[in-house]
Chain A
Amino acid sequence: MVKVMVYPPTSMILSDLVERTGHEALVVSKEVRKKVNTAGLDSPPLNMTPEDPKKGLKYAAVDVPSGVRGRMSLLGPMIEEAEAAIVVLNDRCTLGCTGCARTNELTRFLLRTKRIPLLELEYPGDELAARRFVSRIREFLEGLS
């Protein structure tokens, strides 16, 4: 079983396809869950502990907006843990919590420079593209084990 990070990190389709093939999908909701189970946090992930910006500082400098560092405190450990990654590029769905363009750029950059098996593709727009999308992901995941 390989730990596969998916991008967008909240993607249902990607995490489902990863878990269908028996691998573990690294998604942001699992990181949020760890915070939810931590006593003393009022409204995670909006509330941070003093430890969180320190984790974020590892990936982004102190003059980078705090939102980037806060997000990287969740995404950074996932990137470090990842043994492979699937990245969808035309992500017009990254709104709200995942809507920070700078964090998304940094996440994709860190995944590319980590030298792990990486699959980059686009969300399908028609049936034939969807078949290629599923097939490429299956082949990529089968090649990991």
Chain B
Amino acid sequence: MVLSGAEIVIRCLQEEKVEYVFGYPGGAVLFLYDALFQQDQVRHVLVRHEQAAVHAADGFARSTEKVGVALVTSGPGATNAVTGIATAFCDSIPMVIISGQVPTAAIGQDAFQEVDTVGITRPCVKHNFLVKDVRDIALTMKKAFYLARTGRPGPVLVDIPKDVTMQRCEFEYPKEISMRSYNPVVKGHSGQIKKAVQLLLEAKRPMIYTGGGVVLANAAEQITRLTRLLGYPITNTLMGLGGYPFGDRQYLGMPGMHGTFEANMAMHYSDVLLAVGARFDDRVIGNPAHFAEEPRKIIHIDIDPSSISKRVKVDVPIVGDVREVLEEMIRQLEAGEVRPNPDALAAWWKQVEEWRSRRCMAYKNSDEIIKPQFVIQKLWEVTGGEAIVTSDVGQHQMWAAQYYGFDKPRRWLNSGGLGTMGVGLPYAMGAKLANPDMQVACVTGEASIQMNIQELSTCRQFRLPIKICNLNNRYLGMVRQWQELFHGGRYSESYMDSLPDFAKLAESYGHVGIRVDRPADVEGALREAFTTYKNELVFLDFQIDATENVYPMVQGGKGLTEMILSAEDL
């Protein structure tokens, strides 16, 4: 069948079973939008800013296991998308971004709305393509989806000049794809797995540390089985929350800068550390030199060899798909006779429980002023712990991660690697479209929400009943916290002046707005939002304690054992 380039692109999306494309039209993509208009299989979500298009597609991908798709025009359309692309790249989210480009003859002529999109995005994509011939579109799209979802996932950008979308050629979507330069490993090395199992069984102070890789590989079930089989303590990083059920006794909470005392101490003093789909990030292990001071054997399972021995030396590296490797470990454990040493394990658990008894997550609640931790706990109660929770970046992100107990993967969407303010609302949009029957809450702050607040309009157009929980403290809270602790209380530009009345603002977009000032009203307002206004977007503007800080805390550059547990430690 002979089709235009634009029709071919849309046909490729259909072949890939793409349900939603998030985008914004413009000159260079007019033919693509025309082709989109003439079919109804792929639905388009018109955002109000290209950054939000990419974030929403990213949120769609995070909350499912599908590839998120965004469509933007050339020049400013592409540059606006860059933050979204980099955000997805840092968290290894499978995405395909299609950008329009000026006609091939105009490339390099400083044409209207021309930028070197492939050049600009090169460092923040898994791969990108400039399609110069209509006959290459189908194969390129096939490659893009294949690259995005296999190996260590990531965003792939396809830049298509306008004339290429007009030209016509025969369309056939390739069924198979193979690339001699790209062959991601799936199965782990069996000898290494054997070594790892043996090391784990010999451990006296074992610890399991899992990250976003477990979520991305859909390996929550496997890590849970393995952890229970061994009876060892486990921690999930910010990106890995929900990988292991929050309420379980073996779960020690999140590690790292704002992790729990017990998780950090157990990480540090373990003699065998099993790292799964995690990358020893600076926000997780703090100072690597301090971390290396304590002798321990490290087993590291990761799909990406370059993540292994990057920040800490690893003793047993296993490259492979996390789920496959965990399955094999479970098989070997179950087939073998050896079981963990019960005495050593009991002694270790005694120590861990002692650390846990410090109750580092306790906070002082108040009848007078709303504490942010209290809001999150109530949100958890009201939603039965079953909501998809998105967040922006800052204090509210940490409180949400700390106090909303995630029992399942793909329920917690946040920008862990890049730390992009403004992702929360578009993530919630993508998640709601992908999971229409689930409750979706966006935990945000008055600063972050304003970075993509225009999307309230998109939410109205597409009737997305998201519940926005704005923890409004009139400050760039995390900046203020660091300034209070490390910059002599000089609050340089960290306050938020001239704030809108968020409830009224939401109403002006056609949503429901509720302002909450007193702790006694928190639960009622949440219940109202999730029941009375079940089918509406509700903007809950919680006026919270402006001076509340996130604890526990490991100061930047310090070691995991050098924690500040509360303001009294200062």
B is bound to A:
no
Where the two chains meet, the residues of B that have a C-beta atom closer than 8 Å to any C-beta of A are none
